[in-house]
Structure 1
Amino acid sequence: MTTNVGTIDRILRVSLGLGLLYLAFLSGMPAFEGGLVKYGAAVVGVVMLVVAATRVCPIYSIFSFKTCRV
């Protein structure tokens, strides 16, 4: 698979992923006490971190979209 995630996109994905994991497990907010919201946020957070680490977004590939220069 070819790289299709640029640097700014990676930074935003890492920030979003870490933020969602924080909200899911460390924030103690009542909205994240329920299982569905808590683990849903955790799954989305992990997916964001994996995409940022690999620099390949499957959804970008489907739509032939790139945020990287080359």
Structure 2
Amino acid sequence: MPYVNIRITREGATAEQKAELIGGVTGLLERVLGKNPATTVVTIDEVETANWGLGGLPVLDYRAAQAAKETQR
């Protein structure tokens, strides 16, 4: 029984997008590993951006720094 936990920042993923993620991951496990979709569990956790860090920075600060680097190029 596969269990997959997807964590994303809470930035407006729609119910349709989440359903597509669940279906896509379930289908991938079936196709690649032969897992039974009926026993595949997928959960999605949405995390506030203030609680998500990347590269030693809160994610919004990280994104701003990356955008600044892109504009300097």
* Shared fold, TM over 0.5: no
Larger Cα-atom Rg: 2
Indicate the structure with greater strand content.
Answer: 2
Indicate the structure with greater helix content.
Answer: 1
Q: Which has the higher contact order (CA 8 A, sep 6+)?
A: 1
- Per the normalisation by structure 2, the TM-score is 0.37
- Per the normalisation by structure 1, the TM-score is 0.38
